[in-house]
Structure 1
Amino acid sequence: MVTFCVRRQLLLRKERTVWLELLHCRGCTNAGAAFDETDHMGTVMKLCSDRHYIAHDHHTPKRIRRGISCVYGPLGMELRKNILDQWWSSMVTTRPQVFGINTLHGFRGGSVALERTLKLIDTEALHQALRQGEMTGKSKGDALQKLLQGSVSMRTSLLQGALEQYIASLELVNRKLPFGLAETGLCYQLPEDQPGELDCSPSEVMQASLVWFCSPRTSSQWLDYWARQRLQWWRKFALGPSSFSCSDVTVGEEGENVKRGIKVLYQFPWGSEALETLWNLGNTELLQIHMGSQAKLQCRDGKRSVVPHVISVSGNIDRGVQAYLHNSLQEVKKVDNRQRQHMRKVLKLHPSLTPVKVAVNMGKGATSDLRQVCESLLQELLDGGISSWPGHLESTSPSSEQLKYDEMGVLFTVVISDSTLESGLVQLRSRDTTIKETMHISEVKNFLAKYIAAAENV
């Protein structure tokens, strides 16, 4: 009993040191890491399919590269949810001047700054218009035009919804600048005009949008501010932050009304892709959507009344998922007992983003008793909001299970064994260091909660 108490005190004393070492080691690059960009894309796609990040038979490379119409498995869906939660916390929850909104997927009438529009049409009404035998070609054309004008347009971005809610939101801020409206949701992108491209179907993309209303005299500074904030945010959760960068967009690239833009880019193996795009839109779109009624649009900028300028911050979360998956995968050379080299694939997703924080495994011993302890610990972790994997239900060897957990991105593995029944001690293995520590079972939940919270604040 005395030995157990002494060991426990030593473990608790070491806890903070081990905890900080684990956090530090996440950012370290293993000297034995082998990284071949030519094979990296295929390796990531196979891992994503095998480990249920992307649904089987739906990982079309071209669509995944574009970050559109991604069909996720359970782990991929959880990863995207975690990214969205972190985005919302950063952009809305912790900012008193930003308010969340929810807008419809479809709207009637034209959209701002778009020449092409995606329409939702009743096929029966379309067939009726085409079946009018007595109608001339011109009459049929008029009927089709009327049908199109009365149909619903599907949103291709979240900008229009925020602009429409601008006047209603003025009361919240007492007509005082600056303030913002934020939203996340699915948008529908029109097919790109590419030679030899036969796919004309629209695509789905999960977007995260902030529309920031500010004084015309400070709009340029606000654009730079949000660009810095967004780049810092993307890098915060990255294993290799240098792969994220910013690039200015030339005036007129996205339309004549655009004054200036900035893109947050990720360097994929095939080239740079935009994760987020920021525009200084001026007040043109705001005036256009509210029919030029300047009196209703004016806000206070000090002692002056002005029509605000609009800063649009729009992110492609699906492409962000792909960026973090590519950025987090490490292939490490491992030598076994027979001096044979193997490649160990580890998905080192940030603790805040990884879908599964801990796997609960069962070692050798009385099966029924150990299973009860595993189930009890698993439920305790789940009740504490820590996503956990029921590894004690697996039937494969411990070494195979551990390889799978590393590829899934599981942060820690807890092994319940005979010693747990005798002394309450469990073995805790770290994904990032592979170090195995001994800890009392009553300390596991608190340790994991502190570890994840500390990682968010680094």
Structure 2
Amino acid sequence: MAKTNEDQFKNVISHAKEYGFVFQSSEIYDGLSAVYDYGQLGAELKNNIKTYWWKSMVQMHENIVGIDSAIFMHPKVWKASGHVDGFNDPMIDNKDSKKRYRADQLLEDKIERYKKDGKTNKAEELQAAMDDALQNEDLPQLKALIEQHEIACPVSGTRNWTEVRQFNLMFSTQFGAMAEGSDAVYLRPETAQGIFVNFLNVQKSGRMKIPFGIAQIGKAFRNEVIARQFIMRMREFEQMEMQFFVRPGEDGKWFEYWKAERLKWHKALGTSPEKYRFHDHVKLAHYANAATDIEFEFPFGFKEVEGIHSRTDFDLKQHEAFSGKKMQYFDNDLNEDGKPFGNYVPYVIETSIGLDRMFLLTMIQAYEEQDLSDGEKQDSRTVLHLHPCLAPIKAAILPLTKKDGLPEKAREIMDMLKFDHNLTYEEKDSIGKRYRRMDAIGTPFCITIDHQSLEDNTVTIRHRDSMEQERVAIVDLPKIIGDKVSWKNLLS
């Protein structure tokens, strides 16, 4: 019986826990909703995704630099950015289950069900009505749509709903003895503002010329009410963002440039092109004049992985107004009239990718259950077809037996390669079982040391995806592995 998309997703979640990629946070205390820990292999894969992004953004662009700003920021930052007054989601409560839901997500789920049931017209009709209500911030209309389409609470099964209300998503906390007294301090809901408030610091200290970008990877926090779809929607998550500062009037050109560049970054990993699509925003954020999402087809439908936004000069002008400090750039390049462009507040193009979503995308895309049965012999394997650059472990060192000097020879090879690559050493179980374990965690190479290795300094190297084996000289291993896992393969 063929597996459904839902089965596949459940299997990926189970696989992630079984092999040390992702665990429920505080699991021994029954967990914390929408919070997850990355295990020993998950941390490696996550770091490799971060490295790929950082290298492609900072190392490969002469005019982009990276920073690491603090999670805590002055309360006025969030007033200026609009988060204090406008960072809200339309929420609705079920009176029987006492559960709270995002109204737009309840409607989106209904739209997906209509599509699955072949009711395309109903889906399109509801989508248009919901978009209109969100555009006009018509909360009563959102509730009317929920009632009209008979949407029930997933927990209680009843349709006993409250009115739709706006709910601020920021976590607030106390910060020592603050001079501001009553002002709350927030955990940042995004990393972008740390870049904007450092715009002049970076520009002046780095002698940066427009156009230039500032990149950052960091934690952000949102009080998401709906915990679902594993690590898709979490309260503590990580973002990889880049703000690209351009001349006013050139924002359209750079918006199109970064749309194309970012899609190329995703496709370089070997993901099927048809799995990606652009989705233009119907309702633009208060700071944007253009916005699109790069969406990936997860087992539960197309969902946003990365956003590209043309933020105009909103952020820098807001911080200029609230701080009283000028956030302008003096451009002494000459315009068409032969005069300097002079002082102006730059426009900004933002690329923002959710690291956790990218992690989930990578796991789903790589996961495969293969039937290897041959006639009467039943066999199968679960394999993660991770790009070699992203694989947590690059090679497994496997002595055929625990005796006859094979472990000692294996350790010599381990010592030779470990300075350049993350390796694992295993001598327990049959060689076949060890191969299967390495397939399951995405290790591209298995290096088997046998008795012949002691005679002629050769080993058997097994390739994960093809399962083909070849005899190679030990002295050639650094080049064989190095060529396959080199970042050049992705960045070029």
TM range (shorter): 0.7 to 0.9
Q: Is 1:391 matched up with 2:426?
A: yes
Distance across 2 between alignment mates of 1:334 and 1:202: 37
2:371 equivalent in structure 1: 333
Distance across 2 between alignment mates of 1:379 and 1:56: 35
1:13 equivalent in structure 2: none
Q: Give the percent of matched residue pairs that are identical in Structure 1 and Structure 2.
A: 21
Distance across 1 between alignment mates of 2:434 and 2:24: 21
1:435 equivalent in structure 2: 468
Q: Is 1:297 matched up with 2:292?
A: no
SS of the counterpart of 2:388?
coil
1:381 equivalent in structure 2: 417
1:299 touches 1:308 (CA, 8 Å); kept in 2?
A: no
1:263 touches 1:278 (CA, 8 Å); kept in 2?
A: yes
Matched letter for residue 103 of structure 1: S
Change (3 A) 1:48 1:156: same
Aligned-residue offset at 1:400: 1.5
Distance across 2 between alignment mates of 1:442 and 1:212: 45
Aligned-residue offset at 1:251: 4.3
Q: Which has the higher helix share?
A: 1
Give the aligned length. Answer: 388
Distance across 1 between alignment mates of 2:234 and 2:393: 33
Q: Is 1:315 matched up with 2:353?
A: yes
Change (3 A) 1:174 1:232: same
Deviations 1:243-283 (A, max 9, x none): 1222211242x3x3321101111110001221111111111
Change (3 A) 1:87 1:355: same
Aligned-residue offset at 1:113: 2.3
2:400 equivalent in structure 1: 363
Matched letter for residue 378 of structure 1: M
Distance across 2 between alignment mates of 1:146 and 1:71: 35
Distance across 2 between alignment mates of 1:57 and 1:171: 42
> Equivalences for 1:114-263 in 2 at 5 Å?
114=83, 115=85, 116=168, 117-121=170-174, 147-149=181-183, 151-172=184-205, 174=207, 176-192=209-225, 203-252=235-284, 254=285, 256-263=286-293
Q: Is 1:285 matched up with 2:315?
A: yes
Aligned-residue offset at 1:175: 6.7
SS of the counterpart of 2:37?
coil
SS of the counterpart of 2:217?
strand
Larger RCO, structure (CA 8 Å, separation 6 or more): 1
Deviations 1:150-207 (A, max 9, x none): x422111111111101122332565731111111111111224x699xxxx9811111
SS of the counterpart of 2:372?
strand
Distance across 2 between alignment mates of 1:378 and 1:206: 33
1:251 touches 1:260 (CA, 8 Å); kept in 2?
A: no
Matched letter for residue 82 of structure 2: A
| Selected match of 1:74 from 20, 40, 43 | 40
2:305 equivalent in structure 1: 275
Distance across 1 between alignment mates of 2:215 and 2:6: 38
Query: RMSD of aligned C-alpha atoms?
Result: 2.9
SS of the counterpart of 2:47?
helix
Aligned-residue offset at 1:317: 0.3
Distance across 2 between alignment mates of 1:397 and 1:173: 56
SS of the counterpart of 1:281?
strand
1:184 touches 1:207 (CA, 8 Å); kept in 2?
A: yes
Distance across 1 between alignment mates of 2:491 and 2:327: 42
SS of the counterpart of 2:391?
coil
SS of the counterpart of 2:46?
helix
Q: Is 1:449 matched up with 2:478?
A: no
Unaligned ranges ≥5, structure 1: 1-33, 126-143
TM-score, normalised with respect to structure 1: 0.78
Unaligned ranges ≥5, structure 2: 86-167, 335-339
1:30 equivalent in structure 2: none
SS of the counterpart of 1:156?
coil
Aligned-residue offset at 1:47: 1.2
Distance across 2 between alignment mates of 1:175 and 1:386: 35
Aligned-residue offset at 1:443: 1.1
Aligned-residue offset at 1:419: 0.4
Q: Is 1:113 matched up with 2:82?
A: yes
SS of the counterpart of 1:304?
strand
SS of the counterpart of 1:96?
coil
